[in-house]
Amino acid sequence: MPRLLFEKKGNAVWISHLDLMRLFQRAFKRAGLPLTHTQGFNPRPSVSIALPLSVGVESRCELLDFDLYGEKPSNEEILTRLNAALVEGVKVLAVYDEAAKIKHLALLECVVALEYDGGIPEGAVEQIEALFNRAEVTVEKKSKNGVKEENIIPMLRRLAVIPADGSTLELRALVCCQNPTLNPMQLNAAIFKYLPNLAPDFARCRRVEVFDTNETIFR
Amino acid sequence: MTELKQRILPTVQKPARYTGGEWGEIKKDLKDVRLRVAFCFPDTYEIGMSNVGMRILYGVMNKMDGVWCERVFAPWGDMEEAMRENGLPLWALESQDPVKDFDMIAFTIGYEMAYSNILNMLDLAGVPLHSRDRHDLKNIVFAGGVCAFNPEPLADFIDFFSLGEGEESTVEIVSLYDRAKAEGWTKETFLQEVSKIPGVYVPSFYRHEYNEDGTLAAIVPLNGAPETVTKRIIENLDTAFFPTEMIVPSTEIVHDRANLEVFRGCIRGCRFCQAGFSCRPVRKKSPEVLYQQAVEIMEKSGNNEITLSSLSTSDYRGLKKLTDELIPYCADNKINLSVPSLRADNFSRELMEKLQTVRKSGLTFAPEAGTQRLRDVINKNLTEDEILNTCANAFSGGWNNVKLYFMLGLPTETDEDVLGIADLVYKVIKTWKEHAVNKKRGLRVHVATAYFVPKPHTPFQWEKQITPQEYLRRCRLLKEHFYSKSIEYDYHGPDLSRLEAVFARGDRRLGPVIEAAVRNGAKLDGWDEYFNYAKWYDAFRECGVDEDFYTVRGYGEEEILPWDTIDVGVTKKFLKLERKRAYEEKVTPDCRHGCAGCGASGLLKEVACDA
């Protein structure tokens, strides 16, 4: 199945995962690119997105698999036609056929931006670095089976704390994104729990790149 | 640093409904824009974006040079709270600019329970609620939609109403405003001039006087205003504006599909139905134009579902021709074609089977009443045989899911009629047992009863609404007679329909009640999560207004009615005659079997009524 790499930013970050699937299905249709349909009682157009993206999170490394019915136009043409049929904020960056197996997708590079309206507090960088250097940092994780405490450190490969400007601190992290998965916003939750004095006024997240276990870019 | 609105969005449910940016949204460069219209739908995004009327008028206004029309919806409670807490005024989706910056503020009102939202939205926008407190031409507030056919409860708040179909009149109104703005007219001058456009009703140009018993004594036109204002209609639907470039929401809405209106008006004359009378006369759209528009809209929107809509789609003469062409197109393109509002009596097995090749949808009937006698009273020309035959057809075609809708509290209804509903439901079950091809899956009969609300411009506009206690007694009586496990019976509490009845036939004395209720926190009354009759109860008491005056009292035939100023084309004489026939249990044949002389054809100048 061919795959496409796309970005999601601006107001499009508020579109949920399920809505985004529907949005792509319609965009393919508008672009005159008929998708094949799944078999079964309720046939659905075959598009699947590798890693569901939380509402509000920006990304430039989203992957979507699709399958076209009939003769497939060139990848450049698919890219051009799809982009002409997509909403502002969702943009296809590449279309290709040699797609890696999704099960090898393992790591995500992301940035959690912590905004301090009164400026970055004194000593914040050091304290946050120290926090994530601990052997155990537990935060609440909500799942189908209720809420449980989870140690996030084993899922955190690397983390750097970098002041982006006078009031924004960026946590640049490499985290596990499949089996198990660390939602990057849990890093913010950890700060709220362990360093309440450094709780930011607002935090937002963006995905930067995805990798396999060897830290090779995943496509 | 992230701006305020972007910080609020992650904290609310379904943030995509507040950001705009959907496919097909119309954006304009402000330097080319002379006039900005904030087009408000007084309910949430999911409901409003499903409204065809709004989509049409959005297209109509944006097609005008120098005019930019943007959409505004009522925020859900969590967003409203955040907006109030942070002093963020209501904004329009396209530009994200505050509504109070707009020249004109338009509302489309299809449901009485949206009245609280209108006031709440004006309040969130920071625009004065009362017409008299808005002194300038800027922020003029006007409204249309079916509720404008009795606009009186909103008379204090809306500067003027646009009655009937707006494809043409909206252009006339907006063009006049364009001129008024350029020439610096006062609001008074504009209202005076706009009232000359046919179909425009300016409530402040009428004084309502009351008798001691609370009934209307007189409606006095002021400033030379006409005695009555006649609604507008489009005569030729083939050439009327229809938006084939639709906005495709990025988040799921209630009717997430393309919608094609096949004709307007209704030949049926069910005596309780407001749309059936107020949307007359019947005007057709040709199957050729419809097919072309269907293909265009599907290609441009990428939707996977299209619905053919009208008040009674089986009565559309071109239905066979249109579906013969559309069904193959839809099948080829994996599009689901849905045809709701098919009548039981001519819901042909053929069409059912053809639609099934695309996807099987549910089977729904609205017999409205349980006995033939009462169906004759309400002129619902649907017999038990027709219902059972259609069910038999459907069951042998594999359907095993039926929905049946009824009303309780119809004029002349007795317990025998109520129990007639149970009888009919059992006959449906029996029919299933005899005809079902696959009994393993079982049958589901979903029965729902609604509390009858008498509506203006219908033969039942004078009728009493039964008391809430009596309504509940009838619901329980019916429930006691449902034994089968196949039956799922739903009935709503009476409060919402009671309130709907008050406002449907309300007068100007209800303005303060709406305002008080909104002050008490009434909003989103169409939603179970928010509707709270206590807020309204307190408002009625605060204002010294008795709900019963508008509901269980009933209106006298000689009484001046609050909506007497509004002419929808059907004469009062005809409505009285139809009411008399109802009490005589006489049906009136549908318009195709002979014109009953309702008067609506008098609205037509170029074409004849297509009944």
Give the DSSP letter string of B392-452.
HHHHHTT--EEEEEEEES-TT--HHHHHHHHHHHHHHHHHHHHH-S--TT--EEEEEEEE-
Task: Nearest by CB to B302, from A19, A29, A55: name it.
Answer: A29
Are A69 and A144 members of one domain? Answer: no
* B412 close contact with A: CB closer than 8 A: no
Distance CA B363, CA B428 (A): 12
The residue among A99, A121, A155 that closes a domain is A99
* Between A39 and B7, the higher pLDDT residue: B7
Beta carbons within 10 angstroms of residue B57's beta carbon: 27
Q: For position B348, what pLDDT does the model report?
A: 58
Enter the tokens of residue B451: 């509390």
- Nearest-Cα distance to chain A for B258, in Å, is 12
Q: Which of A17, A29, A38, A55 to mutate to test the interface with B (most CBs of B within 10 A)?
A: A29
Same domain membership, residue A91 and residue A149: no
Yes or no, beta carbons of B19 and A11 under 8 Å apart = yes
Percent of chain B whose predicted confidence (pLDDT) is above 90: 88
Are A8 and A61 in a shared domain? yes
Burial class (CB in 10 A: 0-12, 13-18, 19+), B237: buried
Does A43 lie at the interface with B, CB-CB under 8 angstroms? yes
pLDDT confidence band for B381 (50 / 70 / 90): confident
| Count of structural domains, chain A | 2
Query: What pLDDT digit, counting tens, does each position of B497-510 carry?
Result: 999 999 999 999 99
The answer to whether B16 contacts A15, with C-beta atoms less than 8 Å apart, is yes
Q: Is the ipTM of this complex over 0.90?
A: yes
Q: Could you tell me the two tokens for B93?
A: 């989706």
Minimum Cα–Cα distance from A26: chain B residue: B302
Q: How near does any CA of chain A get to the CA of B529, in Å?
A: 23
Question: How far off is chain A from B364, nearest CA to CA, in Å?
Answer: 21
| A92 and A114 part of one domain | no
In this structure, are A81 and A144 located in the same domain? no
Q: Is the pLDDT of residue B360 over 60?
A: no
In a domain, A218, yes or no: no
- B15 inside 8 A of chain A by CB: yes
pLDDT of A156: 96
pLDDT-based confidence at residue A24 (cuts at 50, 70, 90): very high
What sections of B104-150 are H helices per DSSP? 115-125
Contact between chains at A43 and B252 (C-beta distance less than 8 A):
no
Beta bridge partners of A8: A59, A90
Contacting A residues, span 94-123, partner chain B, CB-CB under 8 Å: 115, 117
A219 part of a folded domain: no
Split at pLDDT 50, 70, 90, the class of B358 is: very low
Residues 6+ away with beta carbon under 8 Å from B485: none
Characterize the bridge pairing of strands B263-264 and B283-284.
antiparallel
Residue where one domain finishes, among candidates A34, A69, A99: A99
Choices 3.20.20.140, 3.80.30.20, 3.10.50.40, 3.30.70.20: CATH for B258-493+569-601: 3.80.30.20
Tens digit of each residue's pLDDT (9 = 90 or more) over B76-130? 999 999 999 999 999 999 999 999 999 999 999 999 999 999 999 999 999 999 9
**pLDDT at residue B438, as a whole number:** 81
Select from A99, A119, A143 the last residue of a domain: A99
Q: What is the pLDDT of residue A144?
A: 84
Three-state DSSP string of chain A: CCEEEEEECHHHHHCCHHHHHHHHHHHHHHCCCCECECCCCCCCECEEECCCCCCCCEEEEEEEEECECCCCCCHHHHHHHHHHHCCCCEEEEEEECCCCCHHHEEEEEEEEEEECCCCCCCCHHHHHHHHHCCCCCEEEEEECCEEEEEECHHHEEEEEEEEEECCEEEEEEEEEECCCECCCHHHHHHHHHHCHHHCCCEEEEEEEEEEECCCCECC
Contact of B95 with chain A, judged by CB distance below 8 Å, is answered with: no
- Between A118 and B361, name the one with better pLDDT: A118
Kindly list the residues from chain B whose CB atom is less than 8 angstroms away from the CB atom of residue A87.
21-23, 250
Spatial separation of the C-alpha atoms in residues B118 and B504, rounded to whole Å = 16
Chain A residue numbers with beta carbons less than 8 Å from the beta carbon of B248 are 26
How many contacts, defined by CB atoms under 8 Å, are there between A and B? 75
Same domain membership, residue A21 and residue A51:
yes
Which CATH number is B4-230's, of 3.40.50.280, 3.40.1390.20, 3.40.50.2300, 3.40.50.300? Answer: 3.40.50.280
Is A16's CB within 8 Å of B1's CB? Answer: no
Q: What is the pLDDT of residue A132?
A: 97
Nearest to B487 by CA among B394, B423, B399, B425: B425
- How close B77 comes to chain A (CA, Å)? 18
Q: Indicate yes or no: CB of B301 within 8 angstroms of CB of A28.
A: no
Claim to verify: residue A180 and residue A82 sit in the same structural domain = no
Instruction: Give the domain range for residue A20.
Output: 3-99
